Amino acid sequence: MSTQLRVLLGFTNAPDHQLEETAGAVIKGLTGNAAYPTPPVQLPAVQTALTNFSTAIAGQAQGGPAATADKNSKRDLLIGLLRQLAGYVQTNCKNDLATLLTSGFEAVTSSHTQTALGKPVIQTVDNGNTGQLLVKVKPIANAKCYEVRYAAVPAGQAPGAWQSGGLFTNSRSMPVNNLTAGTNYTLQVRAIGGSTGYSDWSDPVSHMSL
């Protein structure tokens, strides 16, 4: 007896940038997708909701409580549309994983086998914008996303406390923001997913923020 595939609804609690990534992937995946010819929500409406959400995120940085409330309202609207599409995809994927994944959504893993996630290896750390480091690791099998942490290492001093750099679905480009220019940072990455939850943290890599 096969297990019914289910769409992963983790985007409902994901950080804002990750929700943006999911929405973009779903719009791209469902556009012209013959497996899903009649989505219950028009994709241009989802694109509009995504654009409005992204604009509200940018506005939140300069605004106060009202801007935050506006962002949260637009986030809830986008999540509601994505939940409708998730249910449609789950019903129409014919219980085929490959078909489900073409939608841009991810599937819930139901394997009862203990599958330990591999330990990530940081391939590169590059400077992005001012106060930004871009971390790249090789993708890990069964990982749903990746978590970055960092600690400042002031010259001649012990490393500071670990800080969360966020969660990312794209292992090839993980931007860590709001760093102090001219300061060295130690970074580590771990994979999240599989049946064991988390991988070990990668070996630390140090880089100066510019």
- Taking only the tens of pLDDT, the chain with its 210 residues reads 356 788 999 899 888 989 999 999 999 999 999 999 999 999 999 999 999 999 999 888 777 889 999 999 999 999 999 999 999 999 999 998 889 999 999 888 655 445 678 899 999 999 999 999 999 999 998 888 899 999 999 888 878 889 989 889 899 999 999 999 999 999 999 998 865 578 889 999 999 999
138 and 73 in a common domain: no
Neighbour count for residue 200 (Cβ, 10 Å)? 13
User: Does the residue 54 lie in any domain?
Assistant: yes
Q: What is the pLDDT of residue 112?
A: 45
132 and 95 in a common domain: no
Q: What is the pLDDT of residue 120?
A: 94
72 three-state secondary structure: helix
16 and 52 in a common domain: yes
129 and 87 in a common domain: no
129 and 95 in a common domain: no
Domain carrying residue 81: 10-101
Q: What is the pLDDT of residue 182?
A: 93
152 and 86 in a common domain: no
Cα 161 to Cα 152: distance, rounded to the nearest angstrom:
8
Cα 28 to Cα 15: distance, rounded to the nearest angstrom:
20
Give the CA dihedral 168, 50, 82, 198, nearest 10 degrees: 10
Looking from the CA of 76 toward its CB, the CA atoms found within 13 Å total: 6
